[in-house]
A and B are shown apart, each in its own frame.
Chain A
Amino acid sequence: MTKLNPDNINVILATDCGSTTTKAILIEKVDGHYRQTFRGEAPTTVEEPAADVTIGVVNAVTEVGELAGRRLVDDDGHIIRPTSNGDGCDIYISTSSAGGGLQMMVAGVVREMTAASAKRAALGAGAIVMDVIASNDRRLPHQQIQRIRELRPDMILVSGGTDGGNATKVVEIAELIAPAKPQPRFGSEYRMPLIYAGNKDAAPLVEKVFDDSVELSVVPNLRPVLERENLGPARDAIHDLFLEHVMAHAPGYNKLIEWTDAPIMPTPGAVGNILQTIAERQGINAVGVDIGGATTDVFSVFNGTFNRTVSANLGMSYSISNVCAEAAMPNILRWVHIDMDERELRNRVKNKMIRPTTIPQTLDALVFEQAIAREALRLAYKQHKEFATTLKGVQQQRTVGDTFSQELGGQTIVDNMQLDLLVGSGGVLSHAPRMQQTAAMLIDAFQPEGITMLAKDSIFMMPHLGVLSQVHPQAALEVFERDCLVYLGTCIAPKGAGKSGKPCLSYQISGGSLNESGELAFGDLKLFPLAPEETASVTLEPSRGFDVGAGAGKPLTADVKGGTVGLILDGRGRPLAPPTNAAECREAVTSWIGELDLYP
């Protein structure tokens, strides 16, 4: 890998090798600013018959080159670097989730404490966590061993105990894993990588337990004391082993690793990076979601704390049937305003599962698919909220003042009222024919409270920018702000519940092309046009029992940004609960669809 002075980098080529598609983008310095200029894509070629990821990369890059009028690949099929005479690029970087991404098993002593921290470390590094083994996971030891034997993870992360604390329990966990002899997913050519990030005093004992069948790396404890996590070293070790062992055994990756100017990152790890960087820079709380065919990733940064979850079986094609099974058909159909036959729908869902690449042709197919997306996103966010919590097991000092607010450790840190920016990406959100549909899916599923900006990742560029932020943060930020996000607008939603038709909010909006005032009735939605470059000042006076961010019943004045959809006032209450009576629900949903002009 070559080291270049960032000031001399003018042309950046980035690829993301997904399970099905390899996406390439070109970033160029235009008038002193980095801009994303061209993109191309090609089928990923990890599977037979090609079985070489670089073929897909070259195809995608060639397409970008053709569009840009710039030769990026030479006659030998190599990426041309550095730039010369208008050809080639200065750096080339890549992320990868091909072949199912990075799949890990994690273990810890107590499920809610060290095992949860280990899971956070693995997820934060971009892995799919196949299972969490813990002393108190309610399985008997032989059941745990059986499970370890069945799984074929890419690597294992073991933690447990605080530094200087009890060593026995974590050694017990190691003693369960060692005889199970877990097999790595990519065959038997390499030893199973295992990272130990537990009580440092137990490290020599754990080393003794494992024989040569595993490649053991010992890193600093990820929970050195109960009050603090130290996930960095474990995450770094995961990234290193991902490259050294897992990627090196995937077809063609040896070549790709040589080509890139920065280490290849797992795609979700890169998305987490960029979201964290943005939240930090702008001092905001943000949530990002990427809904794919098989999985849904949710990322959040609240008060500087980053969390990521992968809902492995919530997705819009491969996993669509699982969404229906988990959410149950009545929950999906509550978002639908037209007659549909359940038997027919069930068959349609299965047909989409077995032929995942089809797209909705008719309006009712689109309405149904977007209803499923709402439920997939809702379930994924629910899982995220349950996972992104304050540390459990922390001793708390209480005073008399805390008598009535006995907050325990392990409370979710996801607070929709504190959420500033909600970003959606993935086919069903990015390719929705109307922007209002994307906004509506995000609002219905995530139920933001107070004032929240909504955006979508235009062409799923976040992975590329995440890895770029490691080598050229300035370029990554410039592209993120100028080209990556499409701002949909702002949602204002009072938190609380009331009677349908009764006012829940008085508002005054001025700025841009708007000069509006009025009352919002409970159960209603209102849309005001406010263009992407416009901002407006809003004065909100919530009714008793409703909160827009300043406290129940307290007024709030704020500036809000516009977007391709505009300003949405959502008076449907939080938590959002469509009427349980089917006819009333249909009527309500029809009126919301009408107000937002969702469908023709």
Chain B
Amino acid sequence: MAQAYTPGLKVTNRLSHRMRRVLPIAGEVKASVGDRVQARDVVAETFMPGDITPVNLSNTLSLPPADVLECMLISEGERVEIGQSLARTKGIFGLFKSEYKSKAAGTVESISNVTGQLIIRGKPLPVQVRAFLAGEVVEVIPNEGVVIEAEVSYVQGIFGIGGETYGSVRMACQQHTDELKADLIKPDMEDCVIVGGARMTGDAVRRAIEVGAAAVISGGMDDQDLRDILGYDLGVAITGSEQIGITLVITEGFGEIAMAKRTFELFSSREAADAAVNGATQIRAGVMRPEIVIPLSEEEKAREVEPEHTAGLLEVGAAVRIIRDPYFGQIGKVAGLPAELTVLNSESMARILEVECESGERVAVPRANVEMIEV
């Protein structure tokens, strides 16, 4: 292989972050270069063509399609209201006329003399894009949206559900290894982004929904709890559109796993700051991870810049996390990188590395089963 690498997730205290915020179809951009925008500001807006109601007048009025046009009381392009008569048959000697009254409001888009089908297009549907990242507009993409830039603390999670939401950061756990239980969720956490430590329990999530929290972030969660919360077994990791009244982000994985200490400390240092959270995850081509963006205040920006942490190459001494059983979740340093293929307990042949875990234990794991982490 040309280059083997293990992509990690970004967790950084300070980052000059740019985000493209664009509409799915062309529309109007509501901000200009140089504007300062807040997370909830609408930066672009458009109207999608409205919903369509097809009506087969030929069937409804028992007419041959070719005769539909002459029975129409309205023409293409006209506006119609619910209950308005749209078509009336001639009847027999002027008697026994049948009529069709509209069940939808909108504009008549087309009347077909081939199928006798009438198409009514409803009111245009507004589509808005909010800034999400509070900062400065640095570029306007005409008819599409904007690029916003800001100095932020930035955390990528591994998996999330629910869409974009906003709130101030509230720490619910004392330690990164503490489980986030229901009794740690207080009523004054309404509209907050609650940060836990290790696994978030199902009860804690239900309690957070009850108090009206915006989001819950923690190290892990049980799949069984996720299923109970969603009401179904999540099959494919394409999320973001769930409507469960809250956005959830796990930073490490499923099961009993503590949030990385550095991530926990980052959240602690930004307690009470406004955060924007997006749980949308897509683990396919064009991978998308959930993200938490916390803009820095002017005062924080003035502080000395801490050197950027980067996940470097896989080499002896590099910090890694094991991401598969039997050592799932353990953190350590690479202690050896034997070049030759090794037979695993499963009898598979794989290139391995040796990891010296935080506990002092030295274990051998396949290279595919670790990810580089920033320390």
Residues of A within 8 A of B (CB): 19, 41-43, 46-47, 59-60, 62-63, 98-100, 141-142, 145-146, 167-168, 171-172, 175-176, 179-181, 183, 188, 205, 209, 294, 313, 318-319, 321-322, 324-326, 343-344, 346-363, 365-366, 431, 433-434, 600
A137 smallest CB distance to B (angstroms): 15
Most buried by A among B232, B234, B285, B323: B285
Chain B 239-256, CB-CB to A under 8 Å as 1, else 0, gives 000000000000001110
Closest to A173 in B: B115
Could you name 7 residue pairs across A and B whose Cβ atoms are closer than 8 Å? A19-B285, A171-B112, A176-B54, A355-B324, A356-B283, A363-B347, A433-B346
Closest to A22 in B: B2
Which B residues between 265 and 319 are near A, CB-CB below 8 angstroms? 281, 283-287
Stretch of B11-19, B131-139, B366-374 contacting A (4+ beta carbons < 8 Å): B366-374
**In the complex the two chains form, what is the Cα distance from A467 to B121 in whole Å?**
46
A residues within 8 A CB of B236? Answer: 313, 318-319, 321-322
B311 smallest CB distance to A (angstroms): 15
Which of these, B1, B51, B326, contacts A142 with CB under 8 Å?
B51
A residues within 8 A CB of B255? Answer: 344, 347-348, 351
**In the complex the two chains form, what is the Cα distance from A360 to B346 in whole Å?**
7
B263 smallest CB distance to A (angstroms): 16
Which of these, A171, A351, A363, contacts B114 with CB under 8 Å?
A171
Which B residues between 132 and 161 are near A, CB-CB below 8 angstroms? 158-159
In contact, A41 and B1 (Cβ under 8 angstroms)? yes
Query: Considering the complex of A and B, which 3 residue pairs feature the smallest CB-CB distances, nearest first?
Result: A322-B235, A433-B347, A366-B346
A455 smallest CB distance to B (angstroms): 21
B240 smallest CB distance to A (angstroms): 14
B258 smallest CB distance to A (angstroms): 15
B350 within 8 Å of A (CB atoms): yes
In contact, A357 and B368 (Cβ under 8 angstroms)? yes
**In the complex the two chains form, what is the Cα distance from A488 to B52 in whole Å?**
56
A residues within 8 A CB of B286? Answer: 47, 99
Most buried by A among B3, B51, B235, B344: B235
**In the complex the two chains form, what is the Cα distance from A350 to B226 in whole Å?**
11
In contact, A366 and B348 (Cβ under 8 angstroms)? yes
**In the complex the two chains form, what is the Cα distance from A176 to B118 in whole Å?**
11
In contact, B323 and A355 (Cβ under 8 angstroms)? yes
Which of these, A98, A205, A357, contacts B285 with CB under 8 Å?
A98
In contact, A363 and B25 (Cβ under 8 angstroms)? no
In contact, A325 and B233 (Cβ under 8 angstroms)? yes
B237 within 8 Å of A (CB atoms): yes
In contact, B283 and A141 (Cβ under 8 angstroms)? no
**In the complex the two chains form, what is the Cα distance from A315 to B303 in whole Å?**
49
B365 within 8 Å of A (CB atoms): yes
Give the interface residue-count category, chain B. Answer: 35 or more
B residues within 8 A CB of A365? Answer: 324-325, 346
- Known: A99-B285, A361-B345. Contact between A175 and B323, CB under 8 A? no
B98 within 8 Å of A (CB atoms): no
In contact, B253 and A171 (Cβ under 8 angstroms)? no
B residues within 8 A CB of A348? Answer: 254-255, 325
A residues within 8 A CB of B62? Answer: none
B residues within 8 A CB of A175? Answer: 54, 110, 112, 115, 117, 119
Chain B 95-133, CB-CB to A under 8 Å as 1, else 0, gives 000000000000001101011010101000000000000
In contact, B223 and A349 (Cβ under 8 angstroms)? yes
In contact, A360 and B348 (Cβ under 8 angstroms)? yes
Closest to B363 in A: A361
A residues within 8 A CB of B51? Answer: 142, 145-146
**In the complex the two chains form, what is the Cα distance from A100 to B226 in whole Å?**
27
Closest to A324 in B: B233
B48 smallest CB distance to A (angstroms): 8
Which of these, A43, A62, A179, A325, contacts B52 with CB under 8 Å?
A179
Given contacts A43-B1, A172-B56, 4 further A-B contacts (CB under 8 A): A43-B2, A100-B284, A322-B236, A347-B223
A residues within 8 A CB of B323? Answer: 351, 355, 358
B239 smallest CB distance to A (angstroms): 11
Which of these, B24, B114, B346, contacts A362 with CB under 8 Å?
B346
**In the complex the two chains form, what is the Cα distance from A180 to B285 in whole Å?**
27
- Known: A321-B235, A326-B235, A361-B369. Contact between A179 and B285, CB under 8 A? no
- Known: A168-B65, A179-B110, A358-B323. Contact between A318 and B346, CB under 8 A? no
B53 within 8 Å of A (CB atoms): yes
B49 within 8 Å of A (CB atoms): yes
B residues within 8 A CB of A47? Answer: 285-287
Closest to A206 in B: B114
- Known: A346-B223, A361-B326, A361-B365. Contact between A183 and B25, CB under 8 A? yes
- Known: A59-B2, A142-B54. Contact between A318 and B284, CB under 8 A? yes
B residues within 8 A CB of A176? Answer: 54
A residues within 8 A CB of B350? Answer: 359
Closest to A323 in B: B235
Which of these, A142, A313, A354, contacts B283 with CB under 8 Å?
A354
A residues within 8 A CB of B365? Answer: 361
In contact, B223 and A100 (Cβ under 8 angstroms)? no
B289 smallest CB distance to A (angstroms): 9
- Known: A59-B2, A142-B53, A325-B234. Contact between A179 and B109, CB under 8 A? yes
A543 smallest CB distance to B (angstroms): 37
B231 smallest CB distance to A (angstroms): 13
**In the complex the two chains form, what is the Cα distance from A361 to B345 in whole Å?**
6
In contact, A46 and B1 (Cβ under 8 angstroms)? no
Closest to B366 in A: A359
In contact, A171 and B224 (Cβ under 8 angstroms)? no
**In the complex the two chains form, what is the Cα distance from A32 to B133 in whole Å?**
65
- Known: A179-B119, A313-B235. Contact between A361 and B324, CB under 8 A? yes
B117 smallest CB distance to A (angstroms): 6
**In the complex the two chains form, what is the Cα distance from A421 to B53 in whole Å?**
51
Closest to B7 in A: A357
**In the complex the two chains form, what is the Cα distance from A358 to B320 in whole Å?**
14
In contact, A351 and B235 (Cβ under 8 angstroms)? no
A residues within 8 A CB of B222? Answer: 343, 346-347
B51 smallest CB distance to A (angstroms): 7
A438 smallest CB distance to B (angstroms): 13
Which of these, B159, B235, B284, B344, contacts A361 with CB under 8 Å?
B344
- Known: A100-B285, A313-B235, A358-B323. Contact between A363 and B112, CB under 8 A? no
Most buried by B among A41, A42, A172: A172
**In the complex the two chains form, what is the Cα distance from A179 to B232 in whole Å?**
34
A553 smallest CB distance to B (angstroms): 42
A residues within 8 A CB of B224? Answer: 343, 346
- Known: A142-B52, A354-B253. Contact between A188 and B25, CB under 8 A? yes
**In the complex the two chains form, what is the Cα distance from A62 to B345 in whole Å?**
33
In contact, B54 and A361 (Cβ under 8 angstroms)? no
A residues within 8 A CB of B39? Answer: none
Which of these, A42, A346, A361, contacts B2 with CB under 8 Å?
A42
In contact, B253 and A319 (Cβ under 8 angstroms)? no
- Known: A175-B115, A322-B236, A347-B222. Contact between A433 and B348, CB under 8 A? yes
Chain B 11-36, CB-CB to A under 8 Å as 1, else 0, gives 00000000000001110000000000
A556 smallest CB distance to B (angstroms): 36
Closest to A344 in B: B255
B251 smallest CB distance to A (angstroms): 11
- Known: A351-B323, A354-B254, A358-B369. Contact between A188 and B26, CB under 8 A? yes
Which of these, A168, A321, A355, contacts B115 with CB under 8 Å?
A168
**In the complex the two chains form, what is the Cα distance from A318 to B284 in whole Å?**
7
B residues within 8 A CB of A322? Answer: 235-236
A residues within 8 A CB of B65? Answer: 168
In contact, A361 and B346 (Cβ under 8 angstroms)? yes
A46 smallest CB distance to B (angstroms): 7
**In the complex the two chains form, what is the Cα distance from A274 to B349 in whole Å?**
30
Closest to B253 in A: A351
B residues within 8 A CB of A19? Answer: 285
Most buried by A among B2, B24, B159: B2
Most buried by B among A100, A179, A188: A179
